[in-house]
């Protein structure tokens, strides 16, 4: 379960490992929660103890454990989005069939500007 933290540097420190990043990518590519074994296989890590350690670290901030396995938490999804990782092969929303060009602020066809403020997931409300 993800937990709030006082120091965002702690959360960023967790991302400083290739195994952990591969776990996030594998979860991003999954259409449903993955079991420990399936996730480990997708990441190609043979040592289950080593994999368990890295997964536990991610569960502190970026991954949720559910009854069905593991899935990206909100912060984990934001990390994947921020890295521009397209490993999933999923099309970007703008590439979807039938999508139209969206007006940009200042363009003639843009009547409204929305500003959405999301609080940092590591801060307690």
In 3D space, the residue among 74, 1, 63 whose CA is nearest the CA of residue 27 turns out to be: 63
- Domains present along the chain, CATH in parentheses: 1-89+102-125 (1.10.10.10)
pLDDT recorded at residue 123: 57
pTM of the model: 0.65
Averaged pLDDT, 100-118: 61
Q: For 79-106, write each residue's pLDDT tens digit.
A: 998 887 645 444 444 444 455 666 665 6
Of 63, 46, 76, give the one whose Cα is nearest residue 2: 63
Helix or strand or coil: residue 40? helix
Mean pLDDT, the chain, rounded, equals: 79
Instruction: Tell the residue number behind the tokens 């521009």, with chain if given.
Output: 84
Percent of the chain clearing pLDDT 70 (strictly above): 62
Please report, for residues 3, 6, 29, the alpha-carbon distance to residue 10 in angstroms, rounded to integers and kept in the order given: 12, 9, 25
């Amino acid at each position: 379960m993800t937990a709030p933290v006082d120091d965002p540097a702690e959360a960023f420190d967790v991302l400083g490992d290739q195994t952990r990043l591969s776990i996030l990518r594998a979860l991003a590519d999954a259409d449903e929660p993955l079991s420990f074994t399936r996730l480990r296989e997708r990441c190609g890590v043979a040592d289950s103890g080593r994999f368990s350690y890295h997964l536990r670290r991610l569960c502190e901030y970026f991954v949720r454990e559910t009854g069905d396995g593991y899935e990206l938490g909100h912060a984990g999804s934001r990390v994947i989005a921020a890295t521009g990782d397209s490993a999933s092969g999923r099309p970007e929303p703008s590439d979807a069939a039938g999508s139209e060009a969206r007006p940009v602020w200042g363009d003639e066809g843009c009547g409204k500007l929305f500003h959405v403020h999301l609080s940092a997931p590591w801060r307690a409300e």
